[in-house]
Amino acid sequence: MFVLAATGSAVGLGNIWRFPYITAENGGGAFVLVYLVCILLIGVPILAAELSIGRRARRSPVNALRSLARSDSGGRYWWLFGYLGMGAGLLILSFLSVIAGSAMAYMVRTAGGVFEGVTARGAESIFIGLIGDPERLLAWHTLFMAMTTVIVARGVRLGLEWAAKYLVPVFFLLLLLLVLGGYLFHPEAFWQGVGLLFYPEFSALTANGILVAMGHAFFTLSLGMGVMIIYGSYLPAGTHIGKMSLAVAATDTLAALLAGLAVFPWVLGSGLEMGIGPGLVFQTLPVAFGQTPAGSWFGALFFLLLVIAALTSAISLFEPTVAWLVENKSMGRPRAAAWVGGGAWLAGILTVMSLGPWAFDFQFAGELRVKGMFDILDILTSVIMLPAGGLAVALFAGWVLYRSRTLEALGKDGVRFRLGYLVLRYVTPLSLAAIFVHTIGVI
Ligand code: PFF
């Protein structure tokens, strides 16, 4: 069951909302290739490391790092990374909830036929109408956060497992329906979309694109913030962690590619431009849906898909901090969930305000352009905090934990284990370090 829960955490807004536009912006197939390499060399090893740390310690991330450092070869401050992860998780939760809330608003609007025949201008003004109205946005943000808090408060069995069991299959069903819709309504554009995803245009790939691919590999597999450590702590003893990590990464990648195939045909088939950043989902797609007879239905399904995807991810973002509150502050689970939900809700208000009344926009010395709080949080978490947390996990699992214990935790697996272990010890940290040096250069 926790394979499904981990998949639910991994597939989310990152796959449906972020992957298609960063792919279109960074050279299509070439970017996908770099992204796949990042998933294999950085993502999967860290995912396996997080899951096995969790399963060995059976505690929240902060306490897991503390107790395993003590029982293996030492180091005093590893637990600090547990807090870094909790912080990153809460920040991500805060803006994820605002986007998910907007998707809920759009689900209602699309179903009501608001976008039928709408022009690009019209869609833009509808979008600005939503984000420029903090009260409305706040209401949707509140509703989404409340739903998530209730599910988390119900506990691991009745909340997390329940959501994974029902929502993940529904997610894939909806995704397939949308791909099918794209194919039926825009057959030519469908193949253009396939080309965009799989034909590598290396000239469009920049150094910044590689950074984006790496950051996204972390984000999409929910790494670097202890989520997979806490999920690992719920895994039964017999689970083969290596296989499970590969399965989660493969399913997540499949979801991202399918999302590309669900989004590109509608956009390209309506003669619209692809590379326009985050506005893709809230501005371009509604125009595309509005041009097709059954578009309102598919549009509503698409936004429902976004909401479900966000929900199973948001639930997992609560978990490291909820588990920590339960262990360290002896709180009951519902109270812990309310604290986390309340805190992230408050932080989300910053995003709500910066999308409308407090909007700002500036450019760093290099190529980095920042638009409002949302961009700051996105860059801070996926380019800095998550890779830092991931680097710490790779070093911890590769160099601090005893090899024999990790081997035991992963299930003995001869050559494959040794290969994975070598990657975790050398390749993963070195590529992360190189990427960090580059990031500092860009900023
Ligand atoms: N992995 C999720 C996505 O791709 O949308 C987002 C996410 C969930 C990030 C949970 C981090 C996390 F801990």
- The residue ranges of every structural domain in the chain are 2-442
Upper half-sphere CA count for residue 392 (Cβ side, 13 Å) = 25
85/227 Cα distance (integer angstroms): 8
pLDDT for position 355: 79
pLDDT for position 327: 96
Q: How far is the CA of 55 from the centre of ligand 1 (A)?
A: 20
Burial group, residue 84, by CB count within 10 angstroms (0-12, 13-18, 19+): buried
Upper half-sphere CA count for residue 204 (Cβ side, 13 Å) = 17
- Closest of 198, 282, 231, 211 to residue 16, by C-alpha: 282
pLDDT for position 363: 60
* Local mean pLDDT, 10-residue blocks, the chain (443 residues): 90 92 89 95 93 94 93 85 93 94 95 90 89 92 98 94 94 96 94 92 85 88 94 91 93 97 92 73 91 90 96 96 96 97 95 78 58 76 85 92 79 75 91 80 65
- Closest of 156, 126, 152 to residue 344, by C-alpha: 152
Listed in sequence order, the residues at least 6 apart from 131 whose beta carbon sits closer than 8 Å to its beta carbon are: 102, 137, 355, 356
The phi, psi pair for 270, rounded to 5°, reads -100, 10
339/310 Cα distance (integer angstroms): 20
Upper half-sphere CA count for residue 7 (Cβ side, 13 Å) = 26
**8 A C-beta contact, residue 309 and residue 144:** no
CA angle 403, 409, 413 (to 5 degrees): 80
pLDDT for position 387: 87
Mutation to probe ligand 1, out of 220, 321, 383 (largest number of atoms < 8 A from CB): 220
**8 A C-beta contact, residue 115 and residue 295:** yes
- Closest of 332, 331, 323, 339 to residue 160, by C-alpha: 323
Residue with tokens 């669900």: 262
Helix (H, G, I), strand (E, B) or coil at 370: strand
Taken in order 366, 368, 369, 375, the sign of the CA dihedral is: negative
pLDDT for position 443: 61
The phi, psi pair for 369, rounded to 5°, reads -110, 135
Reading the block at residue 206, the tokens are 């920049």
44/247 Cα distance (integer angstroms): 10
Report whether residue 308 contacts ligand 1, using a CB cutoff of 6 Å. no
**8 A C-beta contact, residue 118 and residue 290:** yes
Q: How far is the CA of 9 from the centre of ligand 1 (A)?
A: 6
Report whether residue 222 contacts ligand 1, using a CB cutoff of 6 Å. yes
The whole-angstrom distance between residue 138's C-alpha and the CA centroid of its chain comes to: 22
**8 A C-beta contact, residue 59 and residue 352:** no
Q: 10 Å Cβ neighbour count for 278?
A: 16
400/419 Cα distance (integer angstroms): 18
**8 A C-beta contact, residue 299 and residue 270:** no
Q: How far is the CA of 139 from the centre of ligand 1 (A)?
A: 23
DSSP string over 86-149: HHHHHHHHHHHHHHHHHHHHHHHHHHTTTTTT--HHHHHHHHHHHHT-HHHHHHHHHHHHHHHH
Which atom in ligand 1 lies closest to the alpha carbon of residue 386? 11
Mutation to probe ligand 1, out of 313, 317, 321, 383 (largest number of atoms < 8 A from CB): 313
CATH 1.10.4160 fits 2-442, yes or no: yes
The pairing of strands 369-371 and 361-363 is antiparallel
Mutation to probe ligand 1, out of 222, 251, 257, 377 (largest number of atoms < 8 A from CB): 222
**8 A C-beta contact, residue 369 and residue 147:** no
